[in-house]
Structure 1
């Protein structure tokens, strides 16, 4: 089963035309022809089955034959993760988190961040590809990068966690604090971890300090572990 993505499809249409890139992929790579079925999603919880009516590599047309609603998860995960020094590591995190199940992602710029410029256009494509690969009809939201202090001012709802590496004796294991069926926000810092000042700011805003285990993890690994932990608790 191959899944294609179009944010503009509503389900009210009877016909749909794929863009040039996807038309070429359908006809040239997948070798689909008239009468074959394909699946589309708008990333908003709906999947559509369609029958190809014109197999043209420039504008492949299809007739929508079925609309399938996918049930949303009963919990919400927002990962606020500092950009990694190597961009491919952040892309890996986005891909895996999307496959596991994340709803919203915000790159946060911290005092120890080695990279402060984030080009979201490519990251959006990584997320879309991972959504299609995992046959999900929910596209995670990717927010513009923001300074950590600004993020803390605006993100105040639900269960709030900050995963840091300081040995202050007050951290809890994330798996022991997550409550199923809740909105959850988890802060993951850069390679140099959050600064002491940043940790204090987060604690003042009600964030709970947590650990993800007994070993020190890379930023991207920590983010995936956090995402997976929440998913397991909510199974």
Structure 2
């Protein structure tokens, strides 16, 4: 069944989804679709008006998916090439994530993220993977401001030090947790930023012995925490 996204309490698909349903998929009145609000509710529905600009539907049933028993928040510094961060967002939504936050630090080369485009990528990934939850997406803020938003749960900073490595993420994290993982920019965290995070209750962890690109590290951390909770 085709899945569409409608966050508002109206029985109309968005213009983009209407065009996709009627023009691309050639759906007709009377055919069944599914519509999610991105908050765990999936509405089973029937198209009542197959209009390429305002496709209307009637809800026949609603299935509510409860939140996961754990949550994953990845805080990542946007890369100079924004395509890499967009790739991360798409894949992270597909494998499962609750929140993505962007920040800029002392070594960041990019300080602006077009959140509207990021949301479109996340919505497309949610629909493609047939999920009912759209993760929270936070606009880029300073590193200091970001740390103020992390108030509870297990907190980790991914770093590959030159001396004895810290615990691996899968060793440090406990199943069923509320996780926040900081992933630094291409120039890595500064020594000051590392000390600031540690002072705020973050534990330094490693994602393995190899040096990973920012977007690879972010997705790896997300996937490791998902596997930990299988």
User: What TM-score does the superposition give when structure 1 sets the normalisation length?
Assistant: 0.95
1:19, distance to aligned residue in structure 2 (A)? 2.6
Write out the 4+ residue segments of structure 1 that deviate beyond 3 Å after TM superposition. Answer: none
**Other-structure match for 2:2:** 2
Q: Is the 8 A contact 1:156 1:205 kept in 2?
A: no
Question: How many residues are aligned here?
Answer: 230
Equivalent position of 1:148 in the other structure: 143
Query: In the alignment, which residue of structure 2 is the partner of 1:63?
Result: 58
RMSD: 1.1
Q: Structure 1 residues 153, 57: closer, same or farther in 2, change over 3 A?
A: closer
**What do residues 111-142 of structure 1 show as CA deviations (whole Å, max 9, x unaligned)?**
11011111111001111111111111111000
Shift of 1:144: 1.5
CA deviations on 1:94-114 (whole Å, 9 max, x unpaired) are 011111111111101111101
* 1:177 corresponds to 2:172: yes
> Deviations along 1:34-59, whole A, 9 cap, x unmatched?
11101100000100011111112121
Could you tell me whether the CA contact under 8 Å between 2:31 and 2:47 is conserved in 1? yes
- 1:218-229 → structure 2 map (5 Å cutoff): 218-229=213-224
Corresponding residue for 1:111?
Answer: 106
Q: Is 2:5–2:13's contact at 8 Å kept on the other side of the alignment?
A: no
| TM-aligned CA distance change 1:47 to 1:22, over 3 Å | same
Offset at residue 152 of structure 1 (A): 1.6
Q: 2-side partners of 1:143 and 1:20: how far apart?
A: 25
Gaps of 5+ in 1: none
Aligned to 2:14: 19
Residue 216 of structure 1 corresponds to 211
Question: Offset of 1:170 from its aligned partner?
Answer: 5.1
Say whether the 8 Å CA contact 1:76–1:183 is kept in structure 2.
Answer: yes
- Structure 1 residues 109 and 35 mapped into 2: Cα distance closer, same or farther (>3 Å)? same
Aligned to 1:47: 42
In the TM superposition, 1:83-98 aligns within 5 A as 83-98=78-93
From 158, 161, 179, the equivalent of 1:163 is 158
Q: TM-score, with normalisation over the residues of structure 2?
A: 0.97
Query: Residue 223 of structure 1: CA displacement?
Result: 0.4
Distance (Å, rounded) in 1 between the aligned partners of 2:71 and 2:98: 6
